[in-house]
Structure 1
Amino acid sequence: MPPAEAAITRRRALALGGASALGAALLTACGPAPEPPPRTISAMPPADPRRAAPWRAEVVQAGLDAYFGAPSPQLLHYAHPVDPAADAPFHYWWNAHAIDTALDAAERTGDPADLDRAQELRRNLTLRNGDELFNDFFDDMGWFALALLRLANATGAAGDESALEDAIRLHDHIWDLGWSRQGGGIVWEKGQYHYKNTPANGPFVIAGHRLHRATGESRFLERARASLQWWEETLVEPSGFVHDGINRNRDGAIDTDWRFTYNQGLYIGACVEEFRTGGDPARLERAALTIDVSLAELTNGPVFAPDGDGGDAGLFAGIFYRYAGQFLAEAEHPALREFITTSTDALFENQYRGDGTLLAGDDWSAPAPASTDLSTQLTAAMATEVAAVLARA
């Protein structure tokens, strides 16, 4: 199996997230609920570029509702057109990113319905996970912790301490069960303690800094810095390029062939959080190196070369965009700002349907394919939400 294909299908192959018997019973008890009302938006873009960027974000969110929205307890179909086989497994980490994407919309619009949607997705994630917070993948739980931290801070969520409490429970669980006693680093999966990777350590570092600042507790910062030290010593090149993982096949080898945008995005995000905690500008300089090498080596003209064909890989570029936006909140990088603009321009030039919705493909330089995955649509939403924030700056 080629490396890229392996990365795309690894969770599917491992049958991630089939609901437990308890979860299945809860899903049955919930029964179907009406589909959420569709977002309505003008089919014509505004002439003012400052208004065009938030319009685009709303168009992609409208596509998310129109093409992937489902009655409870599914809430989100995993493919369009709807495919029962695609909907059968439960994608824990896709749903965590769906919460983040709903929060992006809430921050842009101020509409309580978007925040309600994020809360609904949170409840649904644990419900469909067998009414459990934890699963077997440490990166998955890190993504949910990050979404919960944002939810805890969201306007209108004041007084809901359970989101922060659950984020703490997840971080403690990852540390207690996932920190390697053999050389350090967070491992990827329970029962596979030889394999450590960027996807597991990145969210853990970012969440650790945010938890430290939210609670003042030193343990979160100490853990984050221990993980970051292992990560930088093992998987981050002097050029700034970030590799995916090490020792996957128990041979000590680094997966240098797995050159994915999300690894770069995670390291950028970790450097930004270290800067926000410690104030060292060298951290932003390290992030800038990773941005530079990503734009030089992972792009195809004005867009990213696709990391794969849907599946897990559909989400990879969205993670880069999210943390690129966090970097630009702290520092200037004209080439990165231009890339976000030109790539989302290409997305709309090639894949906008002309009816107030967009259905995204993985290759933004080409028309959208006839079928696509929720992961791919979430990436388009993340990117256009970042572009909307930049347009306001």
Structure 2
Amino acid sequence: MRKVLYIFAISMFITALGCSKGNEGTKPAGDKPVNPPPVITPTSFTAADATAAYTAFNRYFYDASKKLYYGSTRRDGVAAIWTQAIYWDMAMNVYERTKDPAQLTMINDIYQGNYNQYDGYNWDNTTTWFIYDDMMWWVMALARAKQLTGNDVYLQKAKSGFERVWNGSYDAVDGGMFWDFKHSGKNACINYPTVIAAVRLYKLTGDATYLTKAKSVYAWAKANLMDASGRIADHKIGNNPAGYEDYTYNQGTAIGAAVTLFKETNDQSYLNDAKLVADYTRNKMGTNGLLPAEGDFNEQGVLKTIFAQYIMQLINDGGQPQYMDWIQTNVNTGWKNRDTERNLTFRNYAIHCPTGDIQSYEASSIVTFMQLVPPKQ
């Protein structure tokens, strides 16, 4: 027993010497320091998180009986007609990511819910549809749904919607698209989506007139709504100077229109435009690398949801991975600052999501980003 105690005492003495600051650097030259294993902390959302975010979004905002989305967690009114199309795009993103057959059913359900709500997509109903850009968001989504599902019903609705908007909105004298029935101005929110919809319809039908229209509208928009820095104006009214207001959805659809035309024509100038617009968004908008917190309890909360779609198109289809780290940082920050009780995210990525009533608009962008953006490895 005394021998054991003696050995124990000697070992404690040696240990004490080894831990003493006075013994640092006294190891023989041949010894290698033993470093503890690194502590690994999560730095990125995961695929499971992407699913959890979408599940939470539907739990708080989706009406499974009406197959429509609410405007807020109060669930006391449906979201705006054009944002329903944006949420339908979100559902398509989830299906592309997961290939879950149940999500394909969700895509068809959302179409049917909006069919029931909005007069069967009757484009001539000027009560349901009161501005052209609301229609064009749906035309874009319908064309994409045809691409994704092969359902010809979606294509027919997209074609008839595009024809209705083109005949009522396009300025055959001076070019460009009017955003409203009164032709009060030509806004980015109708011109760039028209380009995207037209190219999608060209790819679906082979009708070259769609591509001609896309090029024409893009040329007008570039000349009238885009400056040399890549900043996109919100509108152009008559002969007045363009009205420049920084909105991520305008930046996003400008990127999407340019990348879409680049893919069809292989004209490098379109890709150069897309990069210029993306650079302006990254370098001039937002704070500390985070996208701006648009939408103070209004529909603008959905704008970054649209931007997500098209910046990822630039990264993937345009072959521009230099934007990925910036986007991943935004997504990870927004997800980290979620309301952990509800798994809901917020329009302002830099702060914690409020725990009270929030809108589906302001809760949607991080969810969409997470379906499109790969987690950091």
Match of 2:324 among 337, 358, 367: 337
| Misfit runs of 4+, over 4 Å | 46-50
Aligned partners of 1:150 and 1:169: how far apart in 2?
15
- Pairing of 1:67-106 with structure 2 (within 5 A): 67-73=60-66, 75-82=68-75, 84=76, 87=77, 91-106=80-95
**TM-score (ref. length: structure 2):** 0.82
Aligned to 1:207: 197
| d(CA) in 2 for partners of 1:284, 1:132 | 34
The question of whether the paired residues in 1 share the 8 Å contact of 2:67 and 2:112 is answered with no
Corresponding residue of 1:132? 121
User: Equivalents in 2 of 1:276, 1:309: separation in Å?
Assistant: 36
Instruction: Tell me the residue number matched to 2:126.
Output: none
The equivalent of 1:363 in structure 2 is 348
- Write the deviation string for residues 225-245 of structure 1: whole angstroms up to 9, x where unpaired: 111111111011011111110
Letter in 2 for 1:379: S
Contact conserved, 2:347 with 2:362, CA < 8 A, in 1? Answer: yes
Q: What are the equivalent positions in structure 2 for 1:142-153 lying under 5 Å apart?
A: 142-153=136-147
2:22 corresponds in structure 1 to none
1:53/1:387 contact within 8 Å kept: no
CA contact (8 A) 1:63 1:359 kept: yes
Q: Please give the per-residue CA displacement for 1:171-226, whole angstroms capped at 9, x wherever unaligned.
A: 11111111124512111111x21311000011110111111122110111111111
Quote the Cα distance in structure 2 between the aligned partners of 1:202 and 1:54. 31
CA deviation after TM superposition for structure 1 residue 326, in Å: 0.5
Q: What is the CA distance between 1:47 and its match in structure 2?
A: 8.0
Q: Is the 8 A contact 2:68 2:84 kept in 1?
A: no
Quick one: distance in 1 between partners of 2:152 and 2:247?
A: 35
**How far is the alpha carbon of 1:293 from its aligned partner?**
0.8
Counterpart CA distance in 2 for 1:241 and 1:56 is: 33
Supply the distance in 2 between the matched residues of 1:333 and 1:279 (Cα, whole angstroms): 15
**Larger RCO (alpha carbons 8 Å, 6+ apart):** 1
Equivalent residue letter for 2:267 = D
Between 1:267-276 and 1:377-386, the stretch displaced more is 377-386
Give 2:13's aligned residue.
none
Of the three residues 176, 183, 186, the one matched with 2:174 is 183
Partner of 1:10: none
The answer to whether 1:64 aligns with 2:57 is yes
- Tell me the matched-pair count: 332
2:249 aligned with 1:255, yes or no?
no
| Post-superposition offset of 1:136 | 2.3
1:185–1:196 CA contact under 8 A, matched in 2: yes
Are residues 1:122 and 2:111 paired?
yes
